[in-house]
Chain A
Amino acid sequence: NAGVTQTPKFQVLKTGQSMTLQCAQDMNHEYMSWYRQDPGMGLRLIHYSVGAGITDQGEVPNGYNVSRSTTEDFPLRLLSAAPSQTSVYFCASSYSIRGTEAFFGQGTRLTVV
């Protein structure tokens, strides 16, 4: 199994550009989530999904959209990139939201200039 796969690994955007970070998992996990990691801030939850067609906001959702059309995929869209969105983004999945461990992707390092 590949686990959780994120693409791209690195990306540089100009302010105002849009892009989609891809996340796919092959473990048939119900629950998927996106986090951003910033120095000294730990990981903060952006959006999450408890199953296909169901998404909800996390701690820092502004400027990001998500959708979950299939169990496997959970893309994160930046609508109009801002320098404050420079960060490392991690996608995670777990069997369910109820007390199971999360598996993380390798991360996407995004720089907005």
Chain B
Amino acid sequence: AQSVSQHNHHVILSEAASLELGCNYSYGGTVNLFWYVQYPGQHLQLLLKYFSGDPLVKGIKGFEAEFIKSKFSFNLRKPSVQWSDTAEYFCAVRGSGYSTLTFGKGTMLLVSP
């Protein structure tokens, strides 16, 4: 069975600070990896995804993530956060075969102006 672990439940940053959110997964085969964002009171939206190829993927709003296969990790980064990045962030994994999408427990990011 696949599983996802997100390292931090809550992160508080000041505007312009750099962000890195940790995500580790457990799965025995090839995976597809995702980061979703949920703004307050809204549904989940896709930030970025990794299927294959370049392990450094760029998403919307200046976010990027790096897939490190040897570490089973897919950490999310942003060089300079804005107040509008305040949201909950979810890492998710799906085995590349016939498999459902499994989410981590989420990281709540609060950016203070």
Residues in A neighbouring B42, C-beta threshold 8 A: 106
Given contacts A33-B101, A42-B104, contact A90 B44 (CB under 8 A): yes
Closest 8 CB pairs of A and B: A42-B105, A99-B32, A43-B103, A104-B44, A104-B43, A42-B103, A106-B43, A99-B96
Could you tell me how many residues of chain A have their Cβ less than 8 Å away from some Cβ of chain B? 23
Partner of A98, one of B34, B45, B96, B103: B96
Query: Which B positions have Cβ atoms within 8 angstroms of A?
Result: 9, 32, 34, 36, 42-46, 49, 51, 90, 94, 96-106
Given contacts A45-B101, A92-B44, 16 further A-B contacts (CB under 8 A): A33-B100, A35-B103, A40-B105, A40-B106, A42-B90, A42-B105, A48-B100, A90-B44, A97-B98, A98-B96, A98-B97, A98-B98, A101-B34, A102-B101, A104-B45, A106-B42
The distance in angstroms between the C-alpha atoms of A105 and B45, with both chains bound, is 10
A–B Cβ pairs within 8 angstroms, 18 of them:
A40-B9, A40-B105, A40-B106, A41-B105, A42-B103, A42-B106, A43-B44, A45-B102, A92-B101, A97-B98, A99-B32, A99-B94, A101-B34, A101-B49, A102-B46, A103-B46, A105-B43, A107-B43
